[in-house]
Amino acid sequence: MSDPANPVPTRCKGPTLSDYTPYMDDDQRCFDARPDVLTFESEPLAADLTVGGPITARLMVSTTGTDADFVVKLIDVYPAATPDDPRRPDTSVHMAGYQQLVRGEIMRGRFRRSFSAPEPFVPNRVTEVDVRMPDVLHTFGKGHRIMVQVQSSWFPMFDRNPQTYTPNIYRAPASAFARATARVWVSRNGASAVEMPEIRRQPHTKR
């Protein structure tokens, strides 16, 4: 349930690795308990996994509204036994279970097919929305988990979507803002997925 009156905030209130930028290291743990953030999480990795290049989330979604935003976040979840950084003994950032934001991006759903010809959603109709995130070079360490979060607001970094289609959301009246239920479909006939290019090390050979 996405409520424009209670949008998902851009950042957690607690301390994080970087106090000034919300990209690439912000802690995402405060969003776990929010009912308007959908979370997918892998099992602990058996070995290091390095990804490099563009990331695309191909979502099959529906909404009860006629407009919607979709935010996708790729997160590196640290093991519960991760020690704090010994170089920062005075830090209040604890690394055990830290959820590091690796990449995140938003797609305004009305532009899902064209940036020059926006269109509303048909309520409850499953449709594809691709969210292309910036390139990345990141290694998920052995024992870490890969997490993906999907939400429909990211405020105040991005303005709120009224979730009722209006020609110009920046001039939308208060009456246009409404709750909507967004669904991400993972059925066999409409599976959502995140595509990430893996970088594998070539075996070293002696000459």
Q: What is the pLDDT of residue 151?
A: 97
155-203 residue pLDDT tens: 999 999 999 999 999 999 999 999 999 999 987 766 899 999 998 876 6
One-letter amino acid identity for 35?
P
62-85 residue pLDDT tens: 999 999 999 999 999 999 999 987
Q: What is the pLDDT of residue 149?
A: 96
Place 90 in a pLDDT band, splitting at 50, 70 and 90: low
Do the domain assignments include residue 87?
A: yes
State the residue range of the domain holding 95. Answer: 29-196
**Mean pLDDT, range 103-114, rounded to an integer:** 96
Q: What is the pLDDT of residue 126?
A: 93
Q: What is the pLDDT of residue 86?
A: 75
Do the domain assignments include residue 126?
A: yes
41-63 residue pLDDT tens: 999 999 999 999 999 999 999 99
**Mean pLDDT, range 98-116, rounded to an integer:** 95
Mean pLDDT computed over every residue of the chain: 90
Over 70: is that where the pLDDT of 24 sits?
A: no
Which CATH number does the domain housing residue 155 bear? 2.60.120.260
Do the domain assignments include residue 201?
A: no
In percent, the amount of the chain with pLDDT more than 70 equals 89
What's the structural domain count of the chain?
Answer: 1
Do the domain assignments include residue 149?
A: yes
89 touches 13 (CB < 8 A):
no
**Mean pLDDT, range 139-163, rounded to an integer:** 96
Q: What is the pLDDT of residue 88?
A: 67
Q: Which of 201, 197, 195 is nearest to 53 (CA)?
A: 197
Do the domain assignments include residue 7?
A: no
Do the domain assignments include residue 203?
A: no
Do the domain assignments include residue 20?
A: no
Do the domain assignments include residue 17?
A: no
124-138 residue pLDDT tens: 999 999 999 999 999
